[in-house]
Amino acid sequence: MSTTMNSRRGPIDRIYGLLRSIPVGVLWLIVIVWSVPSVSLFLNSWRSRDAQRNSGWWTIKPGDLTIDNYDYIFNASAAGTIGNSLINSMAIAIPATIIPIAIATFAAYGFAWIDFKGRKTLFIATVSLLAIPLQVALIPLLQTYVNGAHLTLPFIDKTVTIIPNLGLVNTSTAIWLTHTGFALPFAIFLLHNYISSLPKDVFEAARIDGADHFTIFWRLVLPLSVPVLAAFAIFQFLWTWNDFLIANTMAGTNPDARPTTIFVATLAGDFGTNEHLLPAAAFVQAFVPLVVFFAMQRYFVRGLLAGSVKG
């Protein structure tokens, strides 16, 4: 068991060893360069339109600072307020992150440790869904949300309703359902690689003690899988929060379902007359993903390498 755990920790230890060998000054230089876009965005968000147009953000002075940009996007925007769009983004990103994790964890455990007929074939078919481009399925999905899905049977001239019209068009539900569907193949693949690499001796000992599959899953698999679950949660939340294509396709013209990405895109107005508001809106939009990432960063590297080496 110790050999298995050490083999799985090997890549992580090598990465940490490589980072420790880099001079501290070089690491701080990378951090500074990486932070420049965020810093410039933050500073510009407090500057007026004339200041943004006439000089660079590095020339900022205390007298140039103003809260007018933030006051406008939170209270007076013609496209609505960013507060409402933040709520919409939360209503989309949270279920689109939690639901795939819940379903994929059960599926990954089943594919990894439950022996049933056709397991490998079904797993390969599930993972192969990763090859389907998102853009190809958007219009068929939108048509399903609008009219439902119906199948006309040949020879008997009869139509069978597979999915009824649930009235999901122009709703946030349609957005997070789409994200959930496209996230499941990758989530199952990632979690399966990690769960299948867990020590077999632990599961055998649990079965000897009389534990069933659900007990093993709840008491052993979930606690041991926290790093990979957190890593996928970061990926999925960031992708969902920053998505524009799916949200713009599924939300349509309904302002009550538009997330922050659409709000920021429409904020500039005709001919870009309000482009000075974009830094403030973009910084608010990016603040939540930054909080999520830094809150879960300690799991990021471990989850990223989940299942890369099997003992």
CA distance 258 to 170: 9
pLDDT value at residue 275: 86
pLDDT at 199 over 60: yes
Burial state string for 66-103 with b = 16 or more CB within 10 A and e = fewer than 16? eeebbebbbeebebbebebbbebbebbbebbbebbbee
pLDDT value at residue 142: 87
pLDDT at 103 over 90: yes
Class of domain 69-307 (CATH, top level): mainly alpha
pLDDT value at residue 3: 47
Question: Which residues are CB-contacts of 199 (< 8 A; sequence separation ≥ 6)?
Answer: 1, 4, 5, 311
Task: Give the model confidence (pLDDT) of 201-240 as tens digits.
Answer: 888 888 888 888 889 999 889 998 888 898 888 889 999 9
pLDDT band at residue 4, thresholds of 50, 70 and 90? very low
Q: Which two tokens stand for residue 182?
A: 């496209």
State the chain's mean pLDDT as an integer. Answer: 84
Percent of the chain at pLDDT above 70?
A: 86
Task: Give the model confidence (pLDDT) of 105-117 as tens digits.
Answer: 999 999 999 888 9
Q: What is the pTM of this model?
A: 0.81
Question: What 3-state class would DSSP assign to 169?
Answer: coil
Q: Where are the domains of the chain?
A: 1-39, 69-307
pLDDT value at residue 109: 94
Quote the Cα angle for 74-180-252, to 5°.
50
Higher pLDDT, 81 or 188: 188
pLDDT value at residue 83: 86
Q: Mean pLDDT throughout 106-131? A: 92
